[in-house]
Amino acid sequence: MRQRPRGDSRGILAPGRLLRQVRFRRHLPAPALRPWVEHYWLVDWELTEPFAQQVVPHPAVNVVFRRDGDGPESGEVAGVGLTLFSITLTGTGRVSGVQFRPGGFHPFWRGSVAELTGRRRPLADLAEHWPPARDHTGGVCDGTDADRCRRLDELLTGWKPQTVDPATDEVIRLVEEIRTDRTVLRVDAFARRHGLTTRRLQRLFLDRVGVGPKWVIRRYRIQEVIEQAADGTAPDWARLAADLGYSDQAHLVREFTAATGMSPAAYTRSLA
């Protein structure tokens, strides 16, 4: 079990620019929640002019609470994002977010996570379908970091996750292997490695993660490319393409451009 939150910037476009504009930090949840929750992420901002940020989403569900200025606090469930996520922040505000481990939202949702894929659902609209949504009464964005994390712990614990769920445990392990093992390139070979049929692996991922295993493999690889270029220094694209299993450099360029809206060369230039 992790002893500290992830420190990478995978998926965040121009992370240095983000950190110059807002206060962004991650914290681990209570130990009992760590099998399902990757981390909490907190963002505060006081801006004199609008700031736009883009993110190539992880294959994970997020629950996000936000307050702009002195306005009311809102909450939403954000399913796995299939496209580039863009947001413009203005004035002052706060966000307290929960990033679940891929597959980790299923014990709370207890239905097919694919129902949420590509969608952002306000908690207020989910209350009839999903009773835990009624538990949000505000205050998640108030106080110190410790206060905010404690409130998130209390909220998620109150949602009573399904603690015995072998299929979710299995898919969480499988996704973590894809994330960390560069040799995982093909769905059929990965299924055979674990004694699964390709069909069962696909159904497991769609139900628990919300997207198929091929999409997860491709998303983690492109996020690694983004992180490699995060300092504005162009890596050896041909070597990186070979290391990550792309057929050639042109293949990497097509995938990167489709995910981010710009070529790798244009991205590194934008960072400079």
Give mean pLDDT in consecutive 10-residue pieces for the chain, a chain of 272 residues: 84 94 98 97 98 97 97 97 97 98 97 97 94 94 98 97 94 97 94 97 98 97 90 85 91 94 91 82
Instruction: Tell me how long the chain is.
Output: 272
Q: Which residues of 122-154 are buried (b: 16+ CB within 10 A; e: fewer)?
A: ebeebeeebebbeebeeebbeeeeeebbebbbe
Residue 116 near residue 61 (C-beta atoms within 8 A): yes
Looking at residue 1, what is its pLDDT? 62
In the three-class reduction of DSSP (H, G, I as helix; E, B as strand; rest coil), residue 10 is classed as coil
- In this structure, the strands spanning 92-100 and 37-46 are antiparallel
In whole angstroms, what is the distance from residue 64 CA to residue 41 CA? 9
In whole angstroms, what is the distance from residue 200 CA to residue 178 CA? 17
Looking at residue 3, what is its pLDDT? 79
User: Considering only CA atoms, which of 250, 188, 256 is closest in space to residue 221?
Assistant: 256
Whole-model pTM: value is 0.95
In whole angstroms, what is the distance from residue 140 CA to residue 148 CA? 6
